[in-house]
Amino acid sequence: MTDALLHFEDFPVGEVVTYGSYKLTREAILAFAREYDPQPFHLDEEAAKDTLLSGLAASGWHACAILMRLNCDGFLSNSTSMGAPGIDEVKWLAPLRPDVTLSVRRTALEARTSKSRPELGFVKFLFELIADEKAVVATQVCSIMFGRRQAP
């Protein structure tokens, strides 16, 4: 792993950064829903009107997938990331509508080195998925493994 890549030490706890720009179209909402989440409120404007979402909205899993893409492009692809063992929490706070532009606000919550594998460390992040630079539509908390610059 080259020094130019982001390592465990490059995510100080408390740091907040924003990045990304992902235009979400109605067609993309429908395509994802047809494949993975064919519930009426993700597929059909008319059917969605009478639901809790009050109109067509993207699958929550589509929101998660887009957040992943924004994180890859925003920092993971330029890092020593070894992935994550899971997700601590996802909240879908507001309907994700067609024709919004999505970005991410990332907060480093905690950092800890691995005892069993001292060459890596975990950083716990809060990711907020933001529509049109205004509304937080979803949040996610997860811990990502990174290589350490100074492994003991």
Which residues are near a second copy by CB under 8 A?
Answer: 32, 35-39, 41, 51-53, 59-61, 64-66, 68-69, 72, 76-77, 81-92, 145
| Bridge partners, residue 140, by sequence | 90, 127
Amino acid at 22: Y
- Cβ atoms of 97 and 137 closer than 8 Å: no
Amino acid at 26: R
- Cβ proximity to a second copy: between 14 and 46 the closer is 46
Rounded to a whole number of angstroms, the minimum distance from the CB of residue 114 to a second copy is 12
Amino acid at 102: L
**DSSP 8-state code for residue 25:** P
Rounded to a whole number of angstroms, the minimum distance from the CB of residue 91 to a second copy is 4
- Cβ proximity to a second copy: between 100 and 143 the closer is 143
- Cβ proximity to a second copy: between 26 and 91 the closer is 91
Rounded to a whole number of angstroms, the minimum distance from the CB of residue 12 to a second copy is 23
Rounded to a whole number of angstroms, the minimum distance from the CB of residue 141 to a second copy is 10
Of 50, 48, 52, 49, which Cα lies nearest the Cα of 38?
48
The structure tokens listed for 4 are 């130019």
- Cβ proximity to a second copy: between 2 and 12 the closer is 2
